[in-house]
A = this chain, B = another copy of it.
């Protein structure tokens, strides 16, 4: 510490101590009193000194610390990356409130461990008849009404297996997974249209559509991308594959998507890289993809008139591939549904401004954010003023005629979000910075260092028609030296930035303990209307109504039928009824369990030894499980949630008599050792 800094630090501490001592003339909390003779003020000064906190640290702490009994102002819904889950975080405290199980089984939530409802959701996500039990979640998107978050649903795509999930935000439960029959991988998913008419899922790595085989030498001819528009039925809370459609795209690598809004409502934008159509092959005499895909100075922003495409699909101007209606590329071109605009270099990030007038694209290998004008693009398309066509006949607009301008930002600009005062915030991957710039005059205002290698960036309602400003989150890919060591696999680092003042202040570093998030949405807490129990008692989370097998207290029973032993069970603190189940080895057991409680937080679990069954049954919920009792012996089952002082006593036995009835106890088993 330099003498000058040390001197100033001492002055701060003394001054702070004096002020707080004065302020604490009437000490209020016992918690403060004992630490210092002079009261709480001295404690603060001592803490700054002892913990090496600067003034900025103190304000950062006080902007984010959320005391006991107080709640966060915003929710963050973040992709959990290759964990396959969604992460829910509170702002400003940056505490993780929940991991929502989506594409990956998770036993705490009873997700994929026997419960029929979750098994049914997984069935929806099968590919080629095979169960997929993980996902690589990339882009979550909240449902919107009139272009702003309505807090009802969350959608998220699985890059690895080209799937889409629906999460109901009344109970934070995944209720549907659909597999894209055309694609093997996606990236620009999920992105919703302004009234959640459709959820966009666009491809990443081209393959023959519909799961066909073609050698990679036929890449240009037979490999394709596609933009899929999944129809969402808000009342049913479900994607309707039968009303969905896709548009065939050339075998470039499509990347991020965004839907137009307000003036550009009805349009969608997708950027792309590898318009070089490199295919790798570094042991077959071809260049690796990373260099092959980085030759050109421009790739193509895909501009799609989805309302026109919807009309084409409804008019049957599609061809079916793997049972799914696809608008062929030639039809899309002929009907004016698709056009390209050059975008500089290796673009990543494609973000429509709150007023819907502009599309901002960052080029990973460029130094600008490029601001495309929807008005100009539309005029060029209407006038058929094309600069040329790509090898697939898609019209290409002139770059200079299409843009509003470019902002020189620095190295590696990726994604852009917006606040409520006309500012844009662009993540700068290579520089590890956030660049704040003005939409009005396309001028850089300020840069803030982040740690390190920022990927996506998010802002409160920052991709809607009504950004709220206040908070921005930097989603940094590398943490390196930020956190205590946890072995070679490090957490990522979310950094919370206060953007409410004229200058950005970094106020919190948050490690991500599970998964590599890609994108998040930040929504005001009052938009979420979650329930704390299910009603009616016997609720099925998929049908959203009382389950046919729901059990009432007093009507518990065990019935033997042709298809096996049906156990109708209730749970209430602190017992299962029935608590003794006797079956013969090889019998099928159908367990129908209702948690008949209605009290908040009175969740019961059901876990059983050796059978891989784990259920989480929230107050009022009903679960069905079916399994063959193929292992003889005595299997304790018990409540997995610490529900009361007698929680440990909430247990029972599944007693499976061997098929060839022979009993045994410890005595019979013993033989002298050695």
B-chain residues with CB within 8 Å of residue A632 when the two chains form the complex: 213
Q: Which B-chain residue is minimally distant from A578 (CB atoms)?
A: B283
Contact with B along A472-505 (1 / 0, CB 8 A): 0000011111111111111100010000011101
- Among A18, A28, A107, residue most surrounded by chain B Cβ atoms (within 10 Å): A107
Query: Which A residues between 503 and 549 are near B, CB-CB below 8 angstroms?
Result: 503, 505-506, 509-511, 513-516, 518, 525, 528, 530-534
> With A and B bound together, what is the CA distance between A11 and B39 in angstroms?
15
The answer, yes or no, to whether A640 is at the interface (CB within 8 Å) is yes
Contact with B along A252-267 (1 / 0, CB 8 A): 0101000000000000
- Among A19, A30, A534, residue most surrounded by chain B Cβ atoms (within 10 Å): A19
The answer, yes or no, to whether A98 is at the interface (CB within 8 Å) is yes
> With A and B bound together, what is the CA distance between A316 and B106 in angstroms?
43
CB-based closest 3 A-B pairs: A19-B19, A222-B665, A61-B65
Is the interface on chain A under 10, 10 to 19, 20 to 34, or 35 or more residues? Answer: 35 or more
The answer, yes or no, to whether A31 is at the interface (CB within 8 Å) is yes
A43 B65 Cβ-Cβ under 8 A: no
Assuming the contacts A23-B16, A642-B455, asked whether A607 and B171 have C-beta atoms less than 8 A apart, the reply is no
Query: Which A residues between 11 and 60 are near B, CB-CB below 8 angstroms?
Result: 11-13, 15-16, 18-20, 22-35, 40-41, 43-44, 47-48, 51-60
30 chain-A/chain-B pairs, Cβ below 8 angstroms: A11-B25, A12-B20, A12-B23, A16-B23, A31-B503, A34-B502, A44-B58, A44-B59, A52-B70, A58-B62, A71-B484, A95-B511, A97-B513, A98-B487, A105-B134, A160-B614, A161-B609, A184-B634, A184-B635, A207-B633, A210-B666, A212-B668, A213-B633, A218-B663, A222-B665, A283-B577, A283-B579, A319-B671, A320-B672, A488-B534
The answer, yes or no, to whether A612 is at the interface (CB within 8 Å) is yes
Query: Which A residues between 598 and 641 are near B, CB-CB below 8 angstroms?
Result: 600-601, 603, 605, 607-610, 612, 614, 616, 618-621, 631-636, 638, 640-641
> With A and B bound together, what is the CA distance between A35 and B502 in angstroms?
8
The answer, yes or no, to whether A3 is at the interface (CB within 8 Å) is no
Q: Which B-chain residue is minimally distant from A207 (CB atoms)?
A: B634
> With A and B bound together, what is the CA distance between A69 and B493 in angstroms?
11
B-chain residues with CB within 8 Å of residue A467 when the two chains form the complex: none
Assuming the contacts A15-B23, A221-B665, A635-B184, asked whether A478 and B47 have C-beta atoms less than 8 A apart, the reply is no
Could you tell me the distance in whole angstroms from the C-beta of A309 to the nearest C-beta in chain B?
14
> With A and B bound together, what is the CA distance between A87 and B502 in angstroms?
39
The answer, yes or no, to whether A248 is at the interface (CB within 8 Å) is yes
> With A and B bound together, what is the CA distance between A16 and B55 in angstroms?
13
Assuming the contacts A484-B72, A634-B208, A634-B213, asked whether A673 and B325 have C-beta atoms less than 8 A apart, the reply is yes
B-chain residues with CB within 8 Å of residue A223 when the two chains form the complex: 634
**Copies of this chain, tallied across the complex:** 2
A673 B640 Cβ-Cβ under 8 A: no
The answer, yes or no, to whether A118 is at the interface (CB within 8 Å) is no
Query: Which A residues between 431 and 478 are near B, CB-CB below 8 angstroms?
Result: 451, 453, 455, 477-478
The answer, yes or no, to whether A670 is at the interface (CB within 8 Å) is yes
Assuming the contacts A16-B20, A283-B558, asked whether A488 and B97 have C-beta atoms less than 8 A apart, the reply is no
B-chain residues with CB within 8 Å of residue A32 when the two chains form the complex: 55-56, 59
Q: Which B-chain residue is minimally distant from A184 (CB atoms)?
A: B609
The answer, yes or no, to whether A391 is at the interface (CB within 8 Å) is no
Stretch of A351-359, A380-388, A645-653 lying at the B interface: A645-653
B-chain residues with CB within 8 Å of residue A673 when the two chains form the complex: 316, 318-320, 325
The answer, yes or no, to whether A155 is at the interface (CB within 8 Å) is no
B65 A57 Cβ-Cβ under 8 A: yes
Assuming the contacts A170-B487, A487-B170, asked whether A605 and B40 have C-beta atoms less than 8 A apart, the reply is no
The answer, yes or no, to whether A238 is at the interface (CB within 8 Å) is no
Contact with B along A89-112 (1 / 0, CB 8 A): 010001111110000111111000
Assuming the contacts A54-B28, A130-B610, A655-B216, asked whether A514 and B106 have C-beta atoms less than 8 A apart, the reply is yes
Q: Which B-chain residue is minimally distant from A39 (CB atoms)?
A: B55
Assuming the contacts A483-B90, A612-B133, asked whether A212 and B513 have C-beta atoms less than 8 A apart, the reply is no
- Among A16, A69, A603, A673, residue most surrounded by chain B Cβ atoms (within 10 Å): A673
Tell me what chain A mostly uses at the interface: helix, strand, loop, or mixed. Answer: loop
Could you tell me the distance in whole angstroms from the C-beta of A578 to the nearest C-beta in chain B?
4
> With A and B bound together, what is the CA distance between A28 and B12 in angstroms?
11
B666 A321 Cβ-Cβ under 8 A: yes
Which of B503, B514, B614, B652 contacts A280, CB < 8 Å? B652
Stretch of A287-295, A333-341, A368-376, A400-408 lying at the B interface: A287-295
> With A and B bound together, what is the CA distance between A205 and B489 in angstroms?
37
Which of B12, B318, B486 contacts A97, CB < 8 Å? B486
B-chain residues with CB within 8 Å of residue A33 when the two chains form the complex: 503
A28 B44 Cβ-Cβ under 8 A: no
> With A and B bound together, what is the CA distance between A574 and B51 in angstroms?
41
Stretch of A76-84, A139-147, A229-237 lying at the B interface: A76-84
B-chain residues with CB within 8 Å of residue A298 when the two chains form the complex: none
The answer, yes or no, to whether A209 is at the interface (CB within 8 Å) is yes
B213 A664 Cβ-Cβ under 8 A: yes
The answer, yes or no, to whether A412 is at the interface (CB within 8 Å) is yes
B30 A503 Cβ-Cβ under 8 A: yes
The answer, yes or no, to whether A560 is at the interface (CB within 8 Å) is no
The answer, yes or no, to whether A68 is at the interface (CB within 8 Å) is yes
The answer, yes or no, to whether A193 is at the interface (CB within 8 Å) is no
Extra contacts, 13 of them, besides A43-B59, A208-B665 (Cβ < 8 A), are A29-B55, A82-B607, A82-B616, A84-B107, A97-B484, A109-B489, A172-B489, A185-B609, A218-B665, A280-B575, A290-B646, A320-B670, A430-B645
The answer, yes or no, to whether A304 is at the interface (CB within 8 Å) is no
A132 B612 Cβ-Cβ under 8 A: yes
B68 A451 Cβ-Cβ under 8 A: yes
The answer, yes or no, to whether A124 is at the interface (CB within 8 Å) is no
B40 A67 Cβ-Cβ under 8 A: no
Could you tell me the distance in whole angstroms from the C-beta of A228 to the nearest C-beta in chain B?
14
The answer, yes or no, to whether A343 is at the interface (CB within 8 Å) is no
